[in-house]
Structure 1
Amino acid sequence: MNERRKSLAGRGSDRSGPAGCGDAVELRRKAEREILCRRREGFCRFARAFAALSLRPFFDLEVEGTHHVPGEGPFLLLAKHQRWEDIPLLGLSTPKALYYVAKVELFSHPVGSWVLRSLGGVPLNRQRPLESRRYLKRLVGFLQSGEGVVVFPEGTYYPQCMGPGLSGMVRLVLGRLEVPIVPAGFEYTPTGRRTRVAVRFGPPLQPPFPAIDSLMQEIMHRIALLSGLDAPPAPHP
């Protein structure tokens, strides 16, 4: 009995860092332990209609190049990340529902987690990517079944400028399954009380791909051009 009490005490004290940090870590781990389910199509349709109604007073949406988004078969969609509205506006712009890779912290609250997962959100722990292995496995499973997956390669918001292209998720996916990569850009232009936003999709890059560094340089170059931003130097052929 004493040994059991010691064991239980040891489990309860297995936290590092100041008070509060252990709780945050545990919330992230709990989110990662939850079952990764397919999105709920009925809820996606409701969310799409709600987003269109909610965003209409603030944005004039223009969509270009939707024919570059595959209607069938798997693909990665790598998009510019200007602001939080990118996600619902992207959902309104694509002809089919997609899955989205998002930071695991967004899944910590039970209600928020249910909403994100129902909309196709896939959690990723950027600080500890190896802890997201089983989510990556399911993500590859979605691709193998013909789904499209959105990745924001900058990892966070970079308004009106280009951030660095983070290759981690792309590298992990392409190491298991080579699929077309569709670049996408957002260009926001204030026009009085409303904002014109152009969502542009470029021609997909097709496998076989070059080395990951050259591939990411080319992708970020295309995303910048689609976003109306100064593009980094194009890679040498």
Structure 2
Amino acid sequence: MSPPTVAPARKPRWETGVFWLCWTISLLFLTVFYRMRRYHADRLPPSGACLVVANHQSHLDPPLVGLLSTRRPMHFVARIGLFKFKPFGRLITALNSVPIRDNESDVAAIREVLARLAQGHAVLVFPEGSRSPDGAMHEFKGGVALVLKRARCPVVPVAVEGCFDAFPRHRRFPRLLGQRVAVMAGTPIAPDDLLKDGPAAALERLRQEIDAMRRDLRARLRAASNGRVPGRVPVGVPVGGPGGD
């Protein structure tokens, strides 16, 4: 059962134009420099509220996941520090971002995410809370469990791979040569099915499903590049295992 839908506030036309302009630029950038691959984009519901849950490797993740959707804008959560520089803050506001503090229980952000879901939007969240330090997946924070319990909408697990090698958190600028990135959508999960064993079990199920897709993507990228990229073995991927060296 989806949350009750309320009419969304009408966005200024310039914001809608900026969104689709940035979507097109992201498509060109990720295709030209990173030979982007998208898998199962059709699994993203074409309309209605849905919570998109993804692993977080890099600043490249939001545009990469957003490119799964060709028919509807995706909303996403962004750390509040990104809004401090006002021109950039205006830009990511036009890109449907929701500011969130480092505190995982940021009540205002959770309420805003729930409000956008109630308006029938697709909202992207990164339950790890910050970019991976090594490309592997890490513990999911509890804040997203509150959204799962309150939203009662379909949840779409999504995996990204290659973004850590292309733009790890310790680099100021991305590597533009020799890297590949990919994104894959999983099958939407009904809220009652996901939460049948409680919020903690729901988070662990999502983490495992996303990590399985991430390893699948890693194997595909390495096969396509003759084992060259992604070049390192993240924590949690045994050497010689799927996508291992």
The normalised TM-score by structure 2 is 0.71
Q: CA deviation at 1:38?
A: 5.2
Residue 84 of structure 1: SS of its match in structure 2? coil
The AA in structure 2 aligned to 1:59 is Y
- C-alpha separation between the residues in 1 aligned to 2:123 and 2:11? 12
- The one-character-per-residue Cα deviations of 1:102-157 (angstroms, maximum 9, x if unpaired) are 11111111111101110011011133744x42x43332221112100000111112
Q: CA deviation at 1:54?
A: 2.9
- The one-character-per-residue Cα deviations of 1:200-233 (angstroms, maximum 9, x if unpaired) are 01011212113111000000001101111748xx
- C-alpha separation between the residues in 1 aligned to 2:32 and 2:186? 28
What's the counterpart of residue 73 of structure 2? 97
Percent of residue pairs identical = 25
- C-alpha separation between the residues in 2 aligned to 1:177 and 1:201? 20
Superposed structure 1 runs of 4+ greater than 4 Å apart: 36-39, 189-192
Select which of 175, 183, 202 maps to 1:199: 183
Unaligned 5+ residue runs, structure 2?
1-8, 167-175, 219-235, 238-245
Select which of 114, 125, 138 maps to 2:101: 125
What's the counterpart of residue 13 of structure 1? none
Q: CA deviation at 1:91?
A: 1.9
What's the counterpart of residue 157 of structure 1? 131
What's the counterpart of residue 214 of structure 1? 201
Q: How does 1:42-191 map to 2 (within 5 A)?
A: 42-95=17-70, 96-127=72-103, 129-130=105-106, 132-133=107-108, 135-158=109-132, 159-168=134-143, 170-188=144-162
Select which of 184, 196, 213 maps to 1:226: 213
Matched-pair contact (CA < 8 Å) for 1:76–1:179: yes
Residue 216 of structure 1: SS of its match in structure 2? helix
Matched-pair contact (CA < 8 Å) for 1:60–1:194: no
Q: CA deviation at 1:52?
A: 2.4
Comparing 51-60 with 144-153, greater Cα deviation is found at: 51-60
Matched-pair contact (CA < 8 Å) for 2:149–2:199: no
Q: CA deviation at 1:72?
A: 1.3
Which has the larger share of strand? 1
Comparing 68-77 with 138-147, greater Cα deviation is found at: 138-147
Q: CA deviation at 1:92?
A: 2.0
Which has the higher Rg, Structure 1 or Structure 2? 1
Structure 1 residues 61 and 176, CA, compared in 2 at 3 Å: closer, same or farther?
same
Matched-pair contact (CA < 8 Å) for 1:57–1:194: no
- C-alpha separation between the residues in 2 aligned to 1:127 and 1:198? 29
The normalised TM-score by structure 1 is 0.73
- C-alpha separation between the residues in 1 aligned to 2:186 and 2:149? 23
- C-alpha separation between the residues in 2 aligned to 1:108 and 1:163? 27
- C-alpha separation between the residues in 2 aligned to 1:160 and 1:137? 30
